Amino acid sequence: MISAEWWTAFFFFPLPWIVKWIIPPARSADQTALRVPFYDDLKELGGTKAIGRRKALLSNLLPYLIWFSLLVAASGLHVVGPAIKLPSESRDLMIAVDLSSSMNRTDFRRGNRDIDRLEAIKVVMSDFIERREDDRLGLILFGSQAYLQSPLTYDNTIIATLLGESRIGIAGSKTALGDAIGLAIKRLKDRPAKSRVLILLTDGTNTSGELSPIKAAQLALSVRLKIYTIGIGAEKQIIRGVLGSTKVDPSKDLDEKTLKKIAEITDGRYFRGQDIESLEEIYVLLDQLEPAKSDAATLRPKRALFHWPLGIALFLSTIMAFLYLKKHGIHFPYVNNNSSLPITPPKLSEKKAA
């Protein structure tokens, strides 16, 4: 879209007619504002050549075209490009997912089939990641050790892909909660303090690693890292056997006390994910607690076009000057670089005589 920054410049278009109407023409040579003493000589030299009506019309029209082109250039003419979405004030959100061997327990149900805990996380987490368009996301996978699967990035597609490709046991069979928090601290400590968030998903208790979860939470508090902990696993499960059905607690190894303490220390919250529906509710609550910015700023780039009407004005001025010189028969004779007069070489006979 083409637009003008200062469109009021076009109000000056009738200015030449106003000046011509206000200021009367000079009645005598003494009243002239500009005197050309050799004008009569030029007139006598060039004569008064008649030009056609088209050339006369062009000569009369050119000054107004030049004036209009200058006004267009002065109006700040520019073209506005398509809107570009700028990153707004975003959060640095790290996601830590437990891949210990206990995550393969199939105590979640999706549709008509039973799924394990990791698959349930993938199903619900993919929608949550997709909604975080304006946040920088990172992914930590932990088992016996914690690994940074992806650093902070605005590319939420790659985060969802890496989470979808994760497998139980690739980081070890145990659970290193403290090390996962410590790795998140290392990656987030240099980021703006108001945007440091860690979402920690686990189904067990700390059984590995060098850093205790409570000590890691205290370190997180020192760098103002807020931690939301999510305990994964159903509260009860029916096991069918040969002698009948047995009710068991599949989440007996879940250390809720420690997870609640971690969230309390870091000013976060603890959530309990017992099934697909509760997990979805948790992520809705997280969206409310750590809202993704939906009103991101946009920029419409501008490209200046003033040089085009300015170039047209210069081109028309050149044509006008050429027509004026041609009308009055003024030509520019060849002038030698070393002399204002042409040099005629001497004849051969004169050279011998010299």
279 assigned to some structural domain: yes
Instruction: Please indicate, yes or no, whether residues 71 and 199 belong to a single structural domain of this protein.
Output: no
HSE (side-chain half, CA atoms, 13 Å) at 128: 24
Instruction: Please indicate, yes or no, whether residues 259 and 324 belong to a single structural domain of this protein.
Output: no
Residue 333 and residue 306: Cα distance in Å, rounded? 37
Residue 89 and residue 134: Cα distance in Å, rounded? 8
Evaluate the CA torsion angle 158, 162, 163, 165 in order and state its sign.
Answer: positive
What number of other Cβ atoms are within 10 A of residue 49's Cβ?
Answer: 9
Instruction: Please indicate, yes or no, whether residues 208 and 148 belong to a single structural domain of this protein.
Output: yes
321 assigned to some structural domain: yes
Distances (CA, A) of 174 to 182, 239, 352: 17, 25, 115
* Boundary-marking domain end, from 273, 298, 323: 298
Instruction: Please indicate, yes or no, whether residues 222 and 121 belong to a single structural domain of this protein.
Output: yes
Predicted TM-score (pTM) of this structure: 0.59
Instruction: Please indicate, yes or no, whether residues 143 and 28 belong to a single structural domain of this protein.
Output: no
Domain of 190, CATH number, reads: 3.40.50.410
What's the structural domain count of the chain? 2
87 assigned to some structural domain: no
Distances (CA, A) of 98 to 26, 119, 181, 229, 302: 95, 12, 12, 12, 48
What pLDDT does residue 104 have? 92
Instruction: Please indicate, yes or no, whether residues 290 and 149 belong to a single structural domain of this protein.
Output: yes
What pLDDT does residue 227 have? 95
Q: In what order do the strands lie in the sheet with 136-142?
A: 146-153, 136-142, 92-98, 196-202, 226-232, 270-273
User: Which of the 8 DSSP states describes residue 235?
Assistant: S
86 assigned to some structural domain: no
Residue 293 and residue 232: Cα distance in Å, rounded? 28
* Boundary-marking domain end, from 252, 269, 298: 298
What pLDDT does residue 303 have? 78
Element (H, E) at 246: strand 244-248
Instruction: Please indicate, yes or no, whether residues 262 and 114 belong to a single structural domain of this protein.
Output: yes
Contacts of 181 (CB under 8 A, 6+ apart): 96, 198, 200, 211, 213, 216, 217, 219, 220, 227, 262
332 assigned to some structural domain: yes
Name the stretches of the chain with pLDDT < 50.
38-39, 41-51, 294, 334-354
314 assigned to some structural domain: yes
What pLDDT does residue 84 have? 67
Cβ atoms of 199 and 167 within 8 Å: the answer is no
Instruction: Please indicate, yes or no, whether residues 278 and 325 belong to a single structural domain of this protein.
Output: no
Contacts of 75 (CB under 8 A, 6+ apart): 4, 5, 6, 7, 9, 10
Instruction: Please indicate, yes or no, whether residues 76 and 145 belong to a single structural domain of this protein.
Output: no
Residue 173 and residue 144: Cα distance in Å, rounded? 6
The structure tokens listed for 218 are 């205290």
Residue 185 and residue 94: Cα distance in Å, rounded? 10
* Boundary-marking domain end, from 298, 320, 335: 298
Residue 276 and residue 233: Cα distance in Å, rounded? 10
Instruction: Please indicate, yes or no, whether residues 65 and 122 belong to a single structural domain of this protein.
Output: no
User: What value, to the nearest 5°, has the Cα angle with vertex 306 and ends 67 and 314?
Assistant: 45
Q: Where in the sequence is the domain holding 222, given as residue range(s)?
A: 92-298
Instruction: Please indicate, yes or no, whether residues 45 and 137 belong to a single structural domain of this protein.
Output: no
The structure tokens listed for 118 are 């990791």
Instruction: Please indicate, yes or no, whether residues 285 and 309 belong to a single structural domain of this protein.
Output: no
Residue 265 and residue 226: Cα distance in Å, rounded? 9
292 assigned to some structural domain: yes
